[in-house]
Chain A
Amino acid sequence: MKETETLETKQTSAGTTERISGSEAVVKCLIAEGVDILYGYPGGAIMPVYDALFKYQDQIHHVLTRHEQGAAHAAQGFARISGRVGVAMATSGPGATNLITGIADAQIDSTPVVCITGQVFSHLLGSDAFQETDIVGISTPVTKWSHQVTKASEIPEVMAKAFYIAKSGRPGPVLIDITKDAQVSELDFKYEKCTGVRSYIPVPKTNPESVKAAADLINAAKKPMIVWGQGVILGKAEAELKAVIEKAGIPAAWTIMGASAIPTSHPLNIGMVGMHGNYAPNVLTNQCDVLIAIGMRFDDRVTGDLKTYAKQAKVIHFEIDPAEIDKNVKTDVAVLGDSKTSLTALLPLLNENSHEAWLEEFKKLYAIEFEKVIKDDIHPTKEGLTMGEVLKEINKQSEGNAAIVSDVGQHQMIACRYSEFNKTKSNITSGGLGTMGFALPAAMGAKMAAPDRDVVAIIGDGGFQMNIQELGTIFQTKIPVKIVVLNNEFLGMVRQWQQLFFDKRYASTEMINPDFITIAKGYHLKTKKVTKREELADAVKDMMASDSAYFLEVCVEKEDNVFPMIPAGASVSDIRLS
C-alpha cells in the first residue's frame, strides 16, 4: 500500500521522524500546513484529536461552533476572504452529516476547505455501530476528493494530499474520515508537503495559439463584452483583468461570484449579469459581437434560456476546468489555464482600443434601470424602508471597504446589486448552492481570517433563523462581526415568485418572528432596531464604529420585489424591470 501511494504522489522536504499518536499527527499536519484556526464540534469518534488540539492550543485555535453546519460555513468564509484553506472538524455520524450542506456549498462555489471527521473503530465499520455513517459514500458527489484513513501511518501522506488537492487548480472541498483506532495508535511521524498527484492535472497548460485566436477576435470586435466570474479572484488575476479591460476598452460585467474583483466605481465595470443582475449587461449580452467569459461557468442563473443566449456572438472562454468548456455554452475559442497566466499572455496581444459608442449603450440602459428600479430602491420616497437604502447607507459609512457576507434571497440580490466594493474578495455569498443560513457562520470565519477588515453580514429574517445558534459562537469567541438582519417578515424571494407566478398564493412564506433583539441581548450583543428611515444613518454609524459584535435589525417593507428579473427559462434580453 505504502509503496504504491508513494508512486502516485510527490512530496517535498524531509524531516526527522518521531513516534506519536495518529491524533497528534493530525494536529501536527494542520500546523505544518499553516492552519492556525479551525472550526468544529467534538464528539466520541473525534475525541482523541480534540485531546491533541488541547496540547497544541498555543499554536492552533479551535473555534467551537454551535452546530457542525456552522463550522463548515465558517471554514468557507475563512477561505473566501483569505484565499487560504478553511478547516472544519466533526465527529462521526450526525456530526459528519451536518457538515454536508457546507461541503456541497464549497464544491459548487469552488472553495478550498478540508473537513476532518472522526469515524468508528475500523473493526466496527459496516456493523451499524453507534454514530457510524458512511460519510465517504455520502460526501462523494459533493467533494473534490474524499478518503477514509484506517491506519495511523497513512495520516501524514493523506493530510498532505488533502491540502494540496483542496487548494490547487480549481479549488474545492476535501473530506478525510479517520477511524478512531487510526487516531489512537502510533506512527513514526514525518511530514512532507504534497506537490503533485500523478492522476491529477490541477492547471491545464495555456495554449499560445488559443490566446492568439482570442486576441484576434477581441481586436476585430466592434461590440466586445466581458463577463468575469470567481475564477479571476481564485486565480489572483484582478490586476491582469483590469489591465485587459483598460487596454482594450471593453465593458466588463460580473457574476455574483466574481463581484468585487474590479472596483464597483471603475468606468468599465458595467454591473452584474444574471437573473437579478443589471439591465444593460443582460440585454446587451444578446447584442455584443464577441462575448469574453473569464473564470465563469455559464450557470443557468446567469444565462437564462440557453437557446437564446448570445447566439449572435463569438464566444471566448478563459477557464481552468476543461469540463466547463462547451458544457452549457458552445465556445468559439477556449483558452485553458489559470486566469492569471492566460490574461498575462493575452494582454500584449491586444490592441489599445476604446468602444465609446458601445459603452454609451450600456449607459443609456443604465439610465432606464435607474429611473425604473434603482431610484426607488436606494432613494425611496414611500414610507417603508427598502433593503437598497440600508445597503446604500452601509456603503457610505464603510466607504466601500467592508466585506459583505450575504445569505440567500432578496436581500442577497440587493446586497450584490448595491454594495460598492473597493477591494477584491469582498463579496462572500452562497452563489451556486443558494444555502440559507450561510451568512452568519461565514461572516464569523471571514472576520477571523481578516481581523483588520470590517465584515458585515446581511441576512434575511428567514436565513438568520437557519443558523441563529451561531450567535453563541460569536458571543463566546467575541468575534466582532456586524450582523444586519433585514426583516420583512416573509421568505421574501419565494413570496416574490408566489406573487408573480402563483397568483399571490402565499403558501408558507409568512414568518411570525420572535423578538430578535431580545435573542441577541440574550447573547450579550450590542443591538439596535430600526423601524423608521430617520433612525437608519445613526444606527449604521453606531454599528460601523463598534469594536465588538453588533446586531442591527432593520424592519423593511414587507412586500417589496427585487427587479430587474429574468423569469426562469426566459432569455436574458427579456429581463423585466417591473
Chain B
Amino acid sequence: MNEEIKTFTISIYTENNIGLLNRISAIFQRRHINIESLTTSQSEIEGVNRFVIVVNITESQAKKIIGQIEKQVEAIKAYYHTDEDIIFTESCMFKIKSDLLFEEPQIQNIIKDSDTRIVTVNKEFFVLEKSGRRHEIEALHKALSTFGIMQFVRSGRIAVTKEEMKITEMLLAFNNQ
C-alpha cells in the first residue's frame, strides 16, 4: 500500500520565541523530509507567529508531522492542506540591466502581459517584482533569461486557507479557564 506523495502546505501558529524555528525544522530533518519552502511572519493575532511550510510527503506522514509539531510546547496549532484547500502565492524579483529596457522592446511587452511590476529603474539596472503561482514565475524567468538576468530571487509560498482557523477562540478559551 504505497501512498501517493503530494504537495502539502503546513501552517503552524506559534508563540514568538527564540529557538522554535530550530525545534520545528528538526522535526522534518529527523524524518529525512526536505523542506521545499518555509516562511514565517506575524499572524492575524498579535504576538502569534505563523509558519507556512511546503513539503512533498504522503498524507499519513503529514498527519504524523502535525502531531509532532503540536506536541511542541510553544506550538499553538498546526494544520496541513492540499493545494485545493488554500489560496497561495509566491513572489519573485529580477534585477536586469537598464539598457535592455530600451534596446529590447519585447521586455516591455513581457512586463505588461505578465502583470509584473517595475519596482525601480536607475541608470544601471531596473528591478521587477511579480507575485503569482510557481508556473507563472517560471514562465517569466524563462522569458527574461534570454535577455540576461543580473539577479533573481523567489520567496517561499504564503497561503491562507479557504476554511476558517479558530486560533483566536482557542486562545480565548485559555484566558477564560
Question: Which one of B14, B16, B22, B63 contacts A140 once the chains associate, using CB atoms below 8 Å?
Answer: B22
B23 to chain A, nearest CB (A): 5
Judged by a CB distance under 8 angstroms, whether B150 is at the interface is: no
Residues in B whose Cβ lies below 8 Å from that of A197: 73
Q: Are A322 and B70 in contact (CB under 8 A)?
A: yes
Bound together, the chains give a CA A196 to CA B174 distance in angstroms of: 8
B6 part of interface (Cβ distance < 8 Å): no
Interface residues as binary, B1-42 with A (CB distance below 8 Å gives 1, 0 otherwise) = 000000000000011111100110010001000000000000
A501 within 8 A of B: no
Complex Cα distance, B171 from A175, in Å, reads 26
Which of these binds chain B: A141-149, A217-225, A371-379? A141-149
Q: Judging by beta carbons under 8 Å apart, are A326 and B63 in contact?
A: yes
In the assembled complex, the Cα of A156 lies from the Cα of B87 at a distance in Å of 43
Cβ-defined contact, A323 with B70, below 8 A: yes
CA separation between A147 and B16, bound complex, in Å?
13
Of the four ranges (under 10, 10 to 19, 20 to 34, 35 or more), the interface on chain A belongs to 20 to 34
Residues of B within 8 A of A7 (CB): 47
| B142: chain A residues within 8 A (beta carbon) | none
Report the bound CA distance from A538 to B17 in whole Å.
60
A140 to B72, CA, bound (A): 11
A4 to B71, CA, bound (A): 21
Q: Which residues of B contact A145 (CB under 8 A)?
A: 73-74
Residues from chain B with Cβ under 8 Å of A321 in the complex? 71
Interface membership of chain A positions 537-551, coded 1 if the CB is closer than 8 angstroms to chain B and 0 otherwise: 000000000000000
Interface presence of B100 (CB below 8 A): no
Assembly CA distance A446 to B4 (angstroms): 49
Q: Are B67 and A200 in contact (CB under 8 A)?
A: no
Q: Which of B19, B68, B175 gathers most chain A CB within 10 Å? A: B19
Docked Cα-Cα span, A572 to B47, in Å, equals 50
Is B135 interfacial (CB 8 A cutoff)? no
User: How many whole Å from A182's CB to the nearest CB in chain B?
Assistant: 15
The answer to whether the Cβ of B166 comes within 8 Å of any Cβ in the partner chain is: no
Asked if residues B15 and A199 are in contact (CB atoms below 8 Å), the reply is yes
Question: Known: A4-B47, A327-B64. Contact between A198 and B23, CB under 8 A?
Answer: no
Residue of A nearest to B47 (CB): A4
Given the known inter-chain contacts A199-B14, A199-B75, please indicate yes or no for A137 contacting B70, CB distance below 8 A.
no
Q: Contact check: which of B16, B18, B174 meets A198 at CB < 8 Å? A: B174
CB <8 Å contact, B30 and A8: no
B60 contacts which chain A residues (CB < 8 A)?
Answer: 326
Which chain B residue lies CB-closest to A146? B19
Identity of the chain A residue whose Cβ is nearest the Cβ of B30 in the assembled complex: A141
| A483 at the binding interface (Cβ < 8 Å) | no
How many A-B contacts if CB must be within 8 Å? 56
User: Which chain B positions have C-beta within 8 A of A141?
Assistant: 23, 26, 30
Are A323 and B71 in contact (CB-based, < 8 A)?
Answer: yes
How far apart are the CA atoms of A276 and B125 in the complex, in Å?
A: 71
Is A345 at the interface (CB under 8 A from chain B)?
no
Q: Taking the complex as formed, is B76 at the interface, i.e. its CB lies under 8 A from any CB of chain A?
A: yes
| B122 beta carbon closer than 8 Å to chain A | no
Closest to A170 in B: B71
Given A141-B26, A146-B19, residue A322 in contact with residue B74 (CB < 8 A): no
Encoded as 1 (CB less than 8 Å from any A CB) or 0, chain B from 91 to 116 comes to 00000000000000000000000000
**CB of B12, distance to nearest CB on chain A (Å):** 11
Contact B67 A322 (CB under 8 A): yes
**B19 surroundings in chain A (CB, below 8 A):** 136-137, 140, 146-148
Q: For the complex formed, measure the closest distance between the CB of A296 and the CB atoms of chain B, giving whole angstroms.
A: 17
Any A CB within 8 A of the CB of B177: yes
Residue A479 at the chain B interface, CB threshold 8 Å: no
Task: Contacts A4-B47, A196-B174, A198-B76 given; indicate if A140 touches B23 (C-beta within 8 A).
Answer: yes
Within the complex, which residue of B26, B64, B174 is in contact with A323, where a contact is CB–CB below 8 Å?
Answer: B64
The yes or no answer to A313 lying at the interface (CB within 8 A) is no
Contacts of A125-176 to chain B: CB distance below 8 A: 136-137, 140-141, 144-148, 165
Interchain CB contact under 8 A, B64 and A198: no
Chain A residue, CB-CB nearest to B171: A198
Q: In the assembly, what is the distance between CA of A299 and CA of B175, in Å?
A: 37
What 6 pairs across the A-B complex have the smallest Cβ distances? A323-B67, A198-B174, A199-B76, A200-B73, A145-B73, A141-B26
**What 7 additional pairs, Cβ within 8 angstroms, besides A165-B73, A200-B73?**
A136-B19, A146-B19, A198-B76, A321-B71, A322-B71, A323-B67, A324-B67
Name 9 A/B residue pairs within 8 A (Cβ), A-sorted: A137-B22, A140-B26, A199-B73, A200-B73, A200-B74, A323-B64, A323-B67, A323-B71, A326-B63
- A: residues with CB less than 8 A from B are 4, 7-8, 10, 136-137, 140-141, 144-148, 165, 196-200, 321-327
